[in-house]
């Protein structure tokens, strides 16, 4: 996905690809007219920004090296496999002074931005939400780290990010259940509101379901991704990342935001 979007331009050009399996890197590079890098260092030498599409543990290691090399970073969620590694990435970004941006895909949708704008104007008493799909049951997303660590680390960053932004800063969070099957998360917010989130990657549905219901004295505000064309967000993400790299100024969805989400997930697990 990353290669296809970044190669499409016009704001970006895919120059090089590196992967642990050289054949996999070569296949992608050949498809998009890029060079196959023999090492991460060669990749860094050939670009001004690095986009990550690797497991969290690999991203955490390589992102620190890329930041020290002075490269801008397009980072996947979660930032790392645990809080310590996520903090190391955020610290490396801050110390190097490089631009970073999180691939929180829903945030680049016009519908999401409209929902968050309206949420800021609403008085919210409570919220109910879910992010559910069956990708862990088989297929390309049934990968080792997802099956081992489950929905809280994989899907949690998306939903917790939206609740934190829509309802208000989360001050307390706790989770119950098995993240590899189904987990329930309860959040208390700075404004006194309470929200709940259901997360699972192990339930068979016709299509992935992400839904947030904000409720308060003024009525109900609903966010539902079933009406969203997810392809429309990718060009926005690409354009905003390119603009951030050229200006040297990161937006709100930077590594610090990724660390904030990882801190909340870590707290939920305690």
- Minimal CA–CA distance to 265: which of 160, 189, 168? 160
Residue pLDDT, tens place only, 88-136: 999 999 999 999 999 999 999 999 999 999 999 999 999 999 999 998 8
Q: 2-105+232-254 and 110-227 share one CATH topology? A: no
8 A C-beta contact, residue 80 and residue 91: no
Residue 147 scores a pLDDT above 90? no
User: pLDDT of 188-217, one tens digit each?
Assistant: 999 999 999 999 999 999 999 999 999 999
Q: pLDDT band at 149, cuts 50/70/90?
A: confident
DSSP-based three-state secondary structure for 121 = coil
Distances (CA, A) of 95 to 10, 64, 249: 30, 10, 15
Q: Six-digit token pair at 233? A: 């967000």
User: If you average pLDDT over residues 215-240, what whole number do you get?
Assistant: 96
| Domain 110-227 architecture | 2-Layer Sandwich (3.30)
- Rounded Cα distance, 123 and 114, in Å: 16
pLDDT tens across 158-188, in order?
A: 999 999 999 999 999 999 999 999 999 999 9
Which CATH code of 3.30.565.10, 3.30.530.20, 3.90.380.10, 3.40.50.720 fits the domain covering 2-105+232-254? Answer: 3.40.50.720
Domain borders along the chain are 2-105+232-254, 110-227
Q: What are phi and psi of 214, to 5 degrees?
A: -100, 130
Predicted TM-score (pTM) of the model is 0.95
- Per-residue confidence band for 221, with pLDDT thresholds at 50, 70 and 90: very high
Q: Left (φ > 0), alpha (ψ -120 to 50) or beta: where does 160 sit?
A: alpha
223 and 212 in contact (C-beta within 8 Å)?
Answer: yes
pLDDT at 139: 75
pLDDT at 41: 97
Q: What pLDDT, on the 0 to 100 scale, is given for residue 146?
A: 81
Structural contact between residues 196 and 184, judged by C-beta atoms closer than 8 angstroms: yes
What digits encode the pLDDT tens for the residues 2-26? 999 999 989 999 999 999 999 999 9
- Interatomic CA distance for residues 252 and 270, integer angstroms: 27
pLDDT > 70 fraction of the chain, expressed in percent and rounded = 100
- Could you count the other beta carbons within 10 Å of the beta carbon of residue 48? 14
pLDDT tops 80 at residue 145: no
pLDDT at residue 141 is higher than 80:
no
Note the pLDDT of residue 229: 93
Q: Between 110 and 270, name the one with better pLDDT.
A: 110
Mean pLDDT of the chain: 96
The pair of three-digit structure tokens given for residue 123, joined into one six-digit string:
């008085």
**Does the pLDDT value for residue 140 go beyond 80?**
no
Residue recorded with tokens 């309470």: 194
Contact residues for 101 (Cβ-Cβ < 8 A; gap 6+): 72, 73, 74, 75, 237, 240, 241, 244, 250, 251, 253, 254
């Amino acid at each position: 996905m990353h290669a296809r979007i970044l190669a499409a331009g016009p704001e970006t050009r895919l120059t090089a690809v590196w992967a642990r399996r050289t054949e996999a890197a070569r296949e992608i590079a050949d498809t998009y007219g890029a060079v196959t890098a023999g090492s991460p260092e060669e990749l860094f030498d050939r670009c001004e920004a690095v986009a990550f599409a690797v497991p969290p543990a690999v991203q955490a290691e390589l992102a620190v090296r890329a930041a020290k090399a002075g490269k801008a970073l397009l980072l996947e969620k979660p930032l790392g496999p645990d809080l310590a590694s996520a903090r190391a990435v955020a610290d490396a970004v801050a110390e190097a002074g490089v631009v970073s941006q999180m691939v929180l895909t829903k945030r680049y949708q016009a519908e999401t931005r409209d929902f968050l704008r309206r949420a800021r104007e609403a008085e919210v008493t409570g919220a109910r939400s879910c992010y559910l799909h069956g990708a862990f049951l088989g297929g390309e997303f049934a990968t080792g780290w997802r099956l081992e660590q489950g929905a809280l680390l994989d899907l949690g960053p998306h939903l917790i990010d939206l609740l934190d932004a829509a309802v208000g800063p989360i001050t307390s969070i706790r989770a119950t259940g098995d993240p590899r099957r189904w987990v329930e998360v309860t959040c208390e917010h700075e404004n006194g509101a309470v929200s709940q989130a259901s997360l699972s990657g192990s339930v068979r549905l016709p299509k992935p379901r992400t839904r947030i219901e904000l409720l308060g004295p003024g009525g109900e505000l609903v966010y539902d991704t079933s009406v969203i064309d997810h392809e429309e967000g990718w060009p926005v993400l690409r354009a905003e990342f390119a603009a951030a790299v050229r200006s040297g100024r990161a937006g709100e969805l930077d590594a610090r935001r990724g660390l904030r989400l990882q801190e909340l997930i870590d707290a939920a697990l305690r």
